[in-house]
Structure 1
């Protein structure tokens, strides 16, 4: 049984074919930044439901996608501003309908066409599809392409003519059917329940029921190794806590205890906190974990490298430690496994499993070399994706894939269309990634609460993607059983149904999106056939999309290969997703890795070149981007420039933290671009320098009024600088050579610094010496936190400083990056920066109060009334907490400014006399950093 996905039919008339094409769009002049900021933390704007429908990476708030689509398609008319705000902030359906009509009035039939060439989970195409336009999404990953179809294609189709499913329509009392709900939602709920029932029946011999007749919801496992010294095998356990205590409910909690006999060990489940130390942990006061043999007569300690070598030698074995059951509502209780449970769990034979879709039932695809950073288990000797879970877990996933295939075949046999059967199978298969997030050897037991019992003590299964796209690994892990509980089929089915229900409820009308797997450097569309390319490209080296999602791919391929051959019957040479054209910088040191910085830069330029090819002459390119590394911005802007685009606008929004709760990027920038015209003028660098500085300063003052943080302003400033840069065909320096755009990235940051409302006693920041300007701005931006080397170097360039010259004098360096010094400098002289002199003044106060401070001022050859000196004193004070020792010292210095001024004149005179008499200068003792 197969389906074939047709290539989207796109209207290919050129601009000259119609008279109603729009040349100026909202995004060129206005963007609802404040509305996006306000909406990203709300149900209407966060996109949590859309993101929960299918597991993918790099989540983006739906408010930003909606704003980008609307601003790129609407004509530049102020009449639309209020409706745009209502649509974004409240999800107002009436406003969306009016905007939909306004867009339709601007284009002929079949248009506009919106393309996202890095569509990922399909958030941007969904927003376009909801507006009734032709929305097309392409992605190199078949996993991402499936996600897009589930979100923005199948949800917008009319399935009302489909016959009943062959399992019979359940009664409303069963909670699986509701006449008032959409047909798709009811049928997906029914299919998921049918899959769960069949899997439970198929695997029930592997999961003995408890005394109450229920299946356990969880099983706690650990990897065991043979001790290098005594040769006895023992489990590697990182935590003995099963459930923390909670005094409010009189819950003592539960813990594991290892009991050793002469040559064997066993577990006990005890009430209360652990009474032993874990066998795999870091020694007190030391970094790096090690494994300690728990047998009293041994106690040998194994280094992590020794433990890893055992894995590569095939010496790991799985052992069942505890079983989790439901008790008294939400309280999870654990017990020791029975002998029957241990025997059944450890005697599963995978060799007898029949193949799936012509493939080995157990994923035998090798984890590519060099993936220890992304698929962590590969660094411990696990070679294939089938190795990432134990045999019983694997059997349950195989049974799930087989049940989905059988149900789809039965639906078609009963008269259901192949397209609908494929859609239903797709939603069922979406449960596999959701379960995989709570499965494999990376899913540890997550015990909320604390040892003293003052916090709620919920028990869950941890997400294996603990660090965005890194598949974690743990020696002790949890297997979700067939019962009801975290990570089980019923649990992930409920979350999927809830997500689908909300997506359907917020999509009352629209045109189904079209999704196909395609490379961004070879788009399968004709020249000049797209009105807007709106995309969120890969962020440099932030996420290894394909390598991380191969865990999903190997199971989806076994489930959907025959239903979706266009996605899951096309693989790379290794049987995994084809990574030939993946536009990322791969982390790690894989041998022969082609996804390098140069590759990323070249391929991104080619991708934007393809965007230019398929765009109509009046079309817009809109890029959503955010990254903390300036080099990533250089490569993005360079790729746009090389592809022949000019930036027309840039709009910062505070999206990331509200969207994900934790993020390294707080702001993303929506960048509007047009194809560069052929008749752009030539300008001098002096002229463009002035224009860039003025444009960024104007924008920065607006951002400051809006409360945008300085670090965010630095990122946002790239857009206005590139707007000016793109106006000219050439920018010539005095020597006749062309100015590079790197010059304007630096100038943009300098302009932000110069425009900041630092006050400094009303003295312009430009009037301070360069090291002080650098230090003051650094402290405003980063306070006492560590800053990566690339960012530090970029900030220094704004003042024409070299990072090497600042190291020691103003900055300290560590593995974490660079940090600003506020301790005393090693020496002070007339060549010292004002910032260094003020630091010396703070140290001097602790050593000799006013006289020592006066000596510092005199030694630095500063006038005691120097406004710049006292401005920096006040600035440093404003940035430090009152409890800080430097803050206390400078507060005292401020209060005694008059006395210090008088003393400085006397000290200066004494210094002059001592120098004339060749006597030693007044002592000034400082601390070395």
Structure 2
């Protein structure tokens, strides 16, 4: 039978990783109009990364069908690749997301490759089914989640299919790829729209209707519950000790938020009838130096909260912390077990601490009183979810404090507001029909109602009783400040009808601004499906972002939104919202609380993921590789290299499914900063695995043969990863932080192409052991140029690996210095080492002199040059580092290599702060080289000043455009 010809794709050879990473990181700061703001989902991939990966996955690598190219053809293919790189570099920019000229150029390249593939397979028996040159295969993401990948499939001209087990994810994908094409070009149907425009491109008409009917819902809701959110009138009496309130006397101010403190009964019997506050900080505005003072009443009968703006606080800290609290009435301590027992017994209450209003020049903070501490009538109709929160779960803390259901994490007034707006969603459909006189398309009305339900979900994120007031930014922190439902000692309650933080119309704005930019250029389909059983992937281009072992418990955490979404949309999507909660049994996640132990969780994850990947491997279009995102936690890099239970288990599942890895690319897909540095769930980066189905007749090899091939192939692939020439400048594609992860790809590519690696005892080598071998080769690779380093740098590197910046014995240092061909006195002369009292230590870059000039330094090792560059970068960023770089440019290759190796050492040792310095330098390398004042790539004459151990060739200079490869020699006067 004729075999299918499978052209090698661009993603299996080279991609402009630097541009993709830069735009992916930049994209995280883009808010209004970005699809990620349509509805919260966890661990989203940046659109730039998804777009680039898909393009490179579909476009053939130039010269794929020429196994023995001539030098001239190699040059031609290189130029063709540069053209593709240029398209990618333009395409990934956020500003070009809807640039039709650039997108059309990208689509043309995709079609060109597809036609080329069809031509190569025209004689295949299944050509009519698999290779129709007039029909581009559709794309599918079987773990669609937040919808970034299906959206970019659609943007690049594919019919997009998205499936997920989770109904919330399915709804997000419907809103991203299914509804927009059905509503594209539709004029708005609201009564006021005809005066605005007569031409409605894309989904701009739908966006106008979201804005209009969102405002209608606000007005209707205000009629029903507006009295529960009264304004506050400023009186003369309130200005006592508050001169800042004088300009507002007689005015009624709109309340932005109410700041509440949780309370428990005092543990002291003398005050057992008093509910004492649990407050972690009484400061409510750092900028305005405003705080809340708890004032004890006469006779110790209780206390009152008073907002202060003058003087100094009586209590410098709050009344509760991680170890417990203190009673403000008696000073008695309250440990956490006591507080928790009170809460679980139903004796945790709440008390209004401050009222935040909108003034003419900023926030106004008021003390609470009977008028602004509004309570709801007991007989007010309130809907409350009874779905229980997971117990004994690391990501759910409220149950420990008696909040056992999803409904319990909302206050009574918050529940009334959310229920009222939820009830208005079905009414919108009736109003739409009335406004359009019954002519509106059913799909259009359904889509409009769906987006308004998304507004409600966004409000729920800001209207729960675990939202807190941020005293530095004077705003509300939402429920999901991180990927968990945390417990808060106090909370900030939003006014839905204000014009400030967390209000209803602000959330309407977030939604319509996304909708008006959605492409809607191709058909899209989103449905609920189990990845282990689905058949949607049949003959489709697959790119996916599966769950990451135990990082995010999507099913558990998304129930927060599901209960509200189900209440709002169940009548419109009955099949999708049949169940009380999101499906959990088939969810592919290593959940210890669900499976009883870590061992069982790992086993279940392996079995389910293997089954899903096997299914996908068998169904996907045979002419295209499958791309898989795997996101790392920073903690997954250990002493022995990049290994972890989750990573190993995932790779093992990939191997078991019958996939072979043909490429990997590290991408910086997550935020550069984290809400909490100790948050173990914060993801650091993602590896893109490029996979093809392993050949059925793949042989087995021995451990010895595997190591031999690893030592030959892996360094070659790392050379390509670390640097490539592009438009006469070095394009460093892999920064220090990613190299350890990037090395896994080519290493596992060797491992995975065989049906097994046989150990000496006849057993099959495990993924864990393969990873350890890969990391050993990586370390050897990074150390391979040690012989080219000067003696001083060799010593410093070895000493640093053993001792870091700590002191060590002089005798040990002297032995090492002798072995490396240097001396302690010479290292002191170089300015990199301090010696005294029988000890020595390396100097930190912060101890290096400020007035250093490399041109007058008589002894300049690479180590010293690197750390002066680090110092300049930390003090003055790329600009200052760039100015220094121009003076030490001839050492750039060695400096970059050393920084990369030191980063890896720091990561393995757990020296996070030092690792950051080296990574920031290598990540900014291209910007540093492109400093003002000249091109860093122009070949220079050899300097008359000689660095320690550096060699030059008589009459020649070596341009540093191809790191890790032989440069081209040319006369200094040649152009």
- The equivalent position to 1:256 in structure 2, one of 288, 292, 303, is 292
- The equivalent position to 1:228 in structure 2, one of 267, 277, 280, is 267
Check conservation: 1:531, 1:618, Cα contact below 8 A. Answer: no
Check conservation: 2:539, 2:622, Cα contact below 8 A. Answer: no
Return closer, same or farther for 1:696/1:658 CA change in 2, 3 Å cut-off.
same
Return closer, same or farther for 1:57/1:823 CA change in 2, 3 Å cut-off.
same
- The equivalent position to 1:846 in structure 2, one of 836, 843, 859, is 836
- Asked if 1:337 corresponds to 2:368, the answer is yes
TM-score normalised by structure 2 residue count: 0.71
Q: Deviations over 1:362-418 (max 9, x none)?
A: 1111112223x2122122111111110110011000001001121124335634333
Return closer, same or farther for 1:220/1:774 CA change in 2, 3 Å cut-off.
same
Partners of 1:872 and 1:163 lie apart in 2 by 65
Check conservation: 2:810, 2:835, Cα contact below 8 A. Answer: no
Check conservation: 1:125, 1:135, Cα contact below 8 A. Answer: yes
Return closer, same or farther for 1:647/1:459 CA change in 2, 3 Å cut-off.
same
- The equivalent residue for 2:59 is 74
- The equivalent residue for 1:491 is 506
Partners of 2:186 and 2:740 lie apart in 1 by 54
Offset of residue 102 of structure 1: 3.7
Check conservation: 2:662, 2:691, Cα contact below 8 A. Answer: yes
- The equivalent residue for 1:40 is 24
Partners of 2:588 and 2:231 lie apart in 1 by 49
Offset of residue 33 of structure 1: 1.4
- The equivalent residue for 2:149 is 124
Q: Deviations over 1:754-797 (max 9, x none)?
A: 122685563799x999xx99985xx5xxxxxxxxxxxxxxxxxx
* SS state at 2:621 partner: strand
* SS state at 1:542 partner: coil
Map 1:906-925 onto structure 2 (within 5 A): none
Offset of residue 278 of structure 1: 6.7
- The equivalent residue for 1:86 is 90
Map 1:584-595 onto structure 2 (within 5 A): 584-586=589-591
- The equivalent residue for 1:447 is 471
- The equivalent residue for 1:435 is 459
Pick which of 651-660 and 479-488 moved more. Answer: 651-660
- The equivalent residue for 1:561 is 570
Partners of 2:744 and 2:816 lie apart in 1 by 33
- The equivalent residue for 2:182 is 157
- The equivalent residue for 1:187 is 209
* SS state at 1:738 partner: coil
* SS state at 1:277 partner: coil
Partners of 2:764 and 2:344 lie apart in 1 by 55
Map 1:403-552 onto structure 2 (within 5 A): 403-412=424-433, 414-448=438-472, 458-467=473-482, 469-481=483-495, 482-501=497-516, 503-504=517-518, 507=519, 510-525=521-536, 529-552=538-561
- The equivalent residue for 1:642 is 656
Q: Deviations over 1:542-601 (max 9, x none)?
A: 2121222111111111111111123222x2xxx321111111223668868997122112
- The equivalent residue for 2:937 is none
Offset of residue 471 of structure 1: 1.4
Check conservation: 1:125, 1:137, Cα contact below 8 A. Answer: yes
Number of equivalenced pairs? 759
Check conservation: 1:31, 1:71, Cα contact below 8 A. Answer: yes
- The equivalent residue for 1:277 is 315
- Asked if 1:401 corresponds to 2:422, the answer is yes
Return closer, same or farther for 1:762/1:512 CA change in 2, 3 Å cut-off.
same
Q: Deviations over 1:609-643 (max 9, x none)?
A: 11112213334211122314222221222111100
- The equivalent position to 2:407 in structure 1, one of 377, 383, 386, is 386
- The equivalent residue for 1:726 is 752
* SS state at 1:656 partner: coil
Partners of 1:45 and 1:848 lie apart in 2 by 51
- The equivalent residue for 1:218 is 257
Partners of 1:727 and 1:763 lie apart in 2 by 36
Map 1:659-738 onto structure 2 (within 5 A): 664-705=682-723, 706=732, 708-738=734-764
- The equivalent residue for 2:337 is 305
- The equivalent position to 2:170 in structure 1, one of 128, 145, 157, is 145
Q: Which ranges in structure 1 are unaligned for 5 or more consecutive residues?
A: 1-14, 246-251, 354-360, 449-457, 780-809, 812-819, 851-869, 888-929
Q: Deviations over 1:719-739 (max 9, x none)?
A: 101111233233334454433
Partners of 1:20 and 1:608 lie apart in 2 by 21
Offset of residue 207 of structure 1: 1.5
Partners of 2:4 and 2:595 lie apart in 1 by 52
Check conservation: 1:150, 1:426, Cα contact below 8 A. Answer: yes
Return closer, same or farther for 1:21/1:691 CA change in 2, 3 Å cut-off.
closer
Return closer, same or farther for 1:881/1:32 CA change in 2, 3 Å cut-off.
closer
Coordinate RMSD, CA, aligned: 4.0
* SS state at 1:640 partner: helix
Offset of residue 830 of structure 1: 13
Return closer, same or farther for 1:26/1:762 CA change in 2, 3 Å cut-off.
closer
Partners of 1:586 and 1:834 lie apart in 2 by 54
* SS state at 2:543 partner: strand
- The equivalent position to 1:97 in structure 2, one of 92, 98, 104, is 104
Q: Deviations over 1:25-44 (max 9, x none)?
A: 22222333132123224459
* SS state at 2:264 partner: strand
Return closer, same or farther for 1:349/1:122 CA change in 2, 3 Å cut-off.
same
Check conservation: 2:59, 2:110, Cα contact below 8 A. Answer: yes
Offset of residue 273 of structure 1: 7.0
Pick which of 101-110 and 722-731 moved more. Answer: 101-110
Check conservation: 1:701, 1:755, Cα contact below 8 A. Answer: no
- The equivalent position to 1:136 in structure 2, one of 161, 167, 176, is 161
Check conservation: 1:39, 1:46, Cα contact below 8 A. Answer: no
Partners of 1:519 and 1:395 lie apart in 2 by 36
- Asked if 1:63 corresponds to 2:42, the answer is no
Return closer, same or farther for 1:22/1:157 CA change in 2, 3 Å cut-off.
farther
Check conservation: 1:519, 1:581, Cα contact below 8 A. Answer: yes
Partners of 2:524 and 2:5 lie apart in 1 by 22
- The equivalent residue for 1:806 is none
* SS state at 2:40 partner: coil
- The equivalent residue for 2:963 is none
- The equivalent residue for 2:843 is none
Partners of 2:700 and 2:464 lie apart in 1 by 60
Check conservation: 2:27, 2:46, Cα contact below 8 A. Answer: no
Pick which of 827-836 and 257-266 moved more. Answer: 827-836
Map 1:9-48 onto structure 2 (within 5 A): 23-42=7-26
- The equivalent position to 1:238 in structure 2, one of 280, 305, 314, is 280
Partners of 1:104 and 1:877 lie apart in 2 by 49
Check conservation: 1:244, 1:273, Cα contact below 8 A. Answer: no
